[in-house]
Amino acid sequence: MTGSVQEQLASRRSVAERMRRNMAASAATGLSATVAAFESQQHQHQQQQAHGQGHARRFAGPPPPRTWVAAPQTRPATRVRSLGTGGALSDLECTCPSLAALAARAIAKNLHSNSVVAIHTLSFHLKELVLHERARLSRLQDTPRLASICLKQFVDPRIRILNVSHTNIDLSTLSLFLPRTKKRIMPDVPPDSWDDEGETPSSLSSSDSDEDDSGSTGLHIHTLDLSFTRPSPPLKLCKLITMNLPNLYHLSIAGCFDSTTGPSFLSQVLHGLINLCVLDISCNAWVDKDVVTRLPIQKTVLGLLKNLIVREVGCDSEWIVSYVRNRRADVCVTI
């Protein structure tokens, strides 16, 4: 009897020991599996994170070219383009134009004498875009030039970029865009000689100074594009610009004037625009070496000048680049 009890107790101890060992082995196996699973998940998470970062880098792409973010004066001359409108309308060259730019293109392309009366209801920014796009279409000969009667509908005291290139604008219409002009300038016959009127560059800034004593601050228009227009007489145009646009920093007179009036106009108007930064005198055969050497590009007159555009002029472009560089290394010459 005693021996049977002892055998049963030994058997139970053996079973308990076996169960303990099995449980310990199972626990060890489970812990190993848990650790392995954790390590596997951790490795998978790291791979996903690395993959996601790589995907984000591929999506973001490389950094933009330096010329995209560099200041205009630091860009290579070969990359500088002049649309006659300044940098404010550069969004028109984007691959994905804004809705306003698309609307301006549609309006400019379908603009005619019957619809022009509704232009005054547009915002001033949209008016700027329409004028720019219409000038581009006229330059490509896709649309006729706008007449002065149509341009009057674009008059807005808030306009800052006035692009009337490739239009038939006259001097009286141009003066409508300049509210500070109290006395409207009516076109007359230009003189045979500029000396006949007794006007000098110094008198342009002082004559008629009593017309507007309140004009101590600059006007809103900072960019003026008169390319391929013929507003005459040139002397009164010079007065209109220098007296009413003292803070003008972009002036384009490409394809304007002739060899008789062009050099004198250029010399006189530049002495009245001390804040000018961009000057476009392209497509003028009268811009020869003599005219270039008389340009007041020294810092005492045009100290803020940064870009001189001289495409298709009457002298060698490389000579102009060399001449200007020797006198003003900070001025970029676009040819």
Domain boundaries, the chain: 84-334
Question: Nearest Cα to 321, choosing from 332, 305, 306?
Answer: 332
Q: Is the peptide bond before 233 cis (omega within 30 degrees of 0)?
A: yes
Side-chain-facing half-sphere of 10: CA atoms under 13 Å: 6
Write the CB contacts of 331 (distance below 8 Å, at least 6 apart in sequence). 297, 305, 306, 307, 308, 324, 325
pLDDT value of position 332: 93
CA distances (Å), origin 99, targets 91, 106, 160, 184? 11, 11, 20, 37
Phi, psi at residue 246, to the nearest 5°? -65, -25
pLDDT value of position 34: 57
3-state secondary structure of 171: helix
pTM: 0.62
Query: Is the Cβ–Cβ distance between 261 and 230 less than 8 Å?
Result: no
Per residue in 196-249, pLDDT (tens digit) is 444 444 444 444 444 444 443 336 899 999 999 988 888 899 999 998 988 899
Of 37-51, 185-199, 249-263, 282-296, minimum mean pLDDT range: 185-199
Mean pLDDT of 309-317: 92
DSSP string for residues in 89-142: GGGGGSSS--HHHHHHHHHHHT--TTTGGGGGGS-HHHHHHHHHHHHHHHHTTS
Mean pLDDT of 138-150: 84
CATH no. for 84-334: 3.80.10
